């Protein structure tokens, strides 16, 4: 985080990445001194409503974040920035997306949690677009021109007002990660009672284990011994508001619909009280660790791994076999995970895996058989990328093995 005083003093001269959050109501003129060097501009957490036309002079600007501001219109100047690739305007008040506000080189667009009702046809005229986050808006339809987005790989359209399944998206050749819960076309009155309900007063939350977009996961202890549940538990308390993937209640429903599988985080019970929703889960053993890290700005949609991290081909083969079995389990239950990645996978020294994070998951039993098959094909691409990512960290001495060759062939097929 930088400060306006640093900028004014000249201390940040030549910087490539600027982050300012000081309740700004206007764009600081001092930023123009960085026009020749700035590549990433982060103005999130201010009170901005507009950007100056002079922003088009920033020839090296590739990424702009302006989340949690007061924009009502996506600034048209963005479309004039010659090298801008990533635009993030989450949690504003945007209702208007002008046709010329979308940069020609756009790869990644985030408009989550706004008031957008319609999108311009020009969205489908951005051939480099790979990642599109539109959850939590008021969209009733998507431009038919999006059928032209042959490089689009990840889409979030949950928590909108789409009355019909967007068939033109299902046919996109590279789409691999799709979340679409919380729309009229994906509504379901299915009652799921796969786990019992318990009261929030039956346990006490302890230390926080993790925090995501939809809720906080904590270690917990039962206040009284429970014969039907293990003594060590974790509790995910849902935040309640819309996330980058959709509504937390849809996450909970999808998680419960999937049921049990040896490679899933085990769901034990749920809490369903006024203004309080939670999922009680089995506590994951401490010897499990993350298999991968989330995509970075450069990789966009593909997972990353620590420098020097490798797996033997036997470990990779075992992990993939477990994930394939889990994939079949998910789709037998008509649930698309929507976020099938190594960074949502935990593994131990024996290459056993535990998979979780259902924030982008969607039940799809209400769709037609043809649509259901396309949903499965989309997630099959995600599984192929998962395999490919693991093979990218395969130990060098194993890359000539028959198993390595066979797994590579599976991706092609």
The mean pLDDT value for 345-355 works out to: 97
pLDDT the model gives residue 9: 86
Q: What average pLDDT does range 119-123 have in this prediction?
A: 98
Q: Which pLDDT score is estimated for 297?
A: 86
Binding residues: 236
Give pLDDT, residue 322.
Answer: 98
- In whole numbers, what is the pLDDT of the chain averaged over residues? 93
- pLDDT, residue 401, reads 92
The least confident of 12-21, 86-95, 120-129, 314-323 is 12-21
Q: Give the tens place of pLDDT for each residue, 98-117.
A: 999 999 999 999 999 999 99
Which of the four pLDDT bands, split at 50, 70 and 90, describes residue 212? confident
| Residue 136 reports pLDDT greater than 80 | yes
Average of per-residue pLDDT across 187-199: 83
Average pLDDT rounded to a whole number, residues 403-413: 83
What is the model's pLDDT at position 36? 93
> Model confidence over 151-166: pLDDT tens digits?
999 999 999 999 999 9
At 398, is the pLDDT very low, low, confident or very high (cuts 50, 70, 90)? very high
Task: Kindly report the CATH class assigned to 4-185.
Answer: alpha beta
Question: Tokens 């001269």 map to which residue?
Answer: 13
pLDDT in tens, 269-291: 989 888 888 999 999 999 999 99
Task: Report the pLDDT value the prediction gives residue 412, as an integer from 0 to 100.
Answer: 61
Label residue 179 by pLDDT band (50, 70, 90). Answer: very high
Per the annotation, binding residues for ATP are 236
200-282 maps to which CATH number?
3.30.200.20
Identical fold at 4-185 and 200-282?
no
CATH of domain 291-412: 1.10.510.10
- 377-387: pLDDT as tens digits: 999 999 999 99
What pLDDT is attached to residue 69? Answer: 98
Q: Which residue has the higher pLDDT, 215 or 398?
A: 398
Which tokens sit at 282?
């089995």
69-78 pLDDT, tens digit each? 999 999 999 9
Evaluate if residue 20 carries a pLDDT over 70.
yes
pLDDT number for residue 413:
56
Question: Taking the alpha carbons of 83, 87, 93, 96 in that order, is the dihedral positive or negative?
Answer: positive
**Which residues fall within 8 angstroms of residue 51, CB to CB, at 6 or more apart?**
27, 66, 75, 77, 78
Q: Which two tokens stand for residue 49?
A: 């409503």
Return the exposure string of 363-392: e unless at least 16 CB atoms fall within 10 Å of the residue's CB, then b.
bbeebeeeebebbbebbebbbbbbbebbbe
Q: Which residues contact 7 (CB under 8 A, 6 or more apart)?
A: 18, 20, 28, 30, 31, 33
Per-domain residue ranges for the chain?
4-185, 200-282, 291-412
């Amino acid at each position: 985080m930088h400060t306006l005083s640093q900028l004014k003093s000249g201390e940040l001269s030549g910087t490539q990445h600027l982050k300012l959050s000081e309740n700004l109501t206007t764009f600081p003129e001092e930023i123009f001194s960085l026009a020749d060097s700035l590549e990433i501009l982060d103005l999130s957490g201010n009170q901005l409503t507009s950007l100056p036309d002079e922003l088009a002079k920033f020839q090296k600007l590739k990424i702009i974040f302006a989340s949690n501001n007061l924009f009502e219109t996506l600034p048209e100047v963005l479309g004039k920035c010659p090298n801008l690739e990533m635009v993030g305007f989450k949690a504003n008040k945007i209702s208007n997306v002008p046709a010329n506000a979308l940069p020609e080189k756009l790869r990644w667009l985030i408009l989550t949690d706004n008031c957008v009702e319609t999108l311009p046809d020009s969205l489908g005229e951005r051939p480099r677009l790979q990642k599109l986050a539109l959850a939590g808006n008021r969209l009733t339809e998507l431009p038919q021109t999006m059928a032209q987005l042959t490089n689009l790989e990840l889409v979030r359209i949950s928590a909108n007002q789409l009355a019909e399944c967007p068939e033109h998206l299902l046919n996109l050749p590279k789409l691999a990660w799709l979340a679409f819960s919380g729309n009229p076309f994906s509504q379901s009155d299915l009652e799921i009672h796969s786990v019992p309900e318990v009261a929030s007063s039956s346990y006490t939350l302890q230390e926080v284990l993790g925090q995501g977009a939809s809720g906080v996961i904590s270690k917990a202890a039962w206040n009284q011994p429970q014969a039907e549940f293990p003594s060590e538990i974790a509790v995910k308390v849902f935040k309640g508001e819309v996330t980058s993937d959709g509504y937390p209640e849809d996450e909970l429903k999808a998680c419960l619909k999937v049921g049990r599988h040896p490679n899933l985080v085990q769901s034990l019970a749920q809490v369903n009280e006024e203004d309080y929703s939670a999922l009680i889960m089995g506590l994951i053993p401490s010897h499990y660790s993350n298999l991968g890290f989330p995509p970075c700005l450069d990789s966009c949609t593909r997972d990353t791994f620590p420098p020097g991290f490798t797996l033997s081909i036997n470990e990779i083969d075992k992990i993939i076999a477990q994930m394939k079995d889990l994939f079949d389990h998910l789709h037998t239950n008509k649930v698309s995970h929507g976020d099938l990645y190594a960074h949502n996978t935990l593994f131990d020294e024996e290459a056993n895996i535990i998979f979780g994070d259902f924030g982008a998951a969607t039940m799809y039993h209400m769709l037609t058989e043809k649509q259901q098959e396309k949903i499965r094909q989309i997630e099959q691409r995600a599984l192929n990328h998962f395999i490919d990512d693991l093979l990218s960290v395969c130990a060098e001495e194993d890359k000539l093995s028959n198993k390595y060759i066979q797994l590579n062939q599976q991706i092609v097929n």
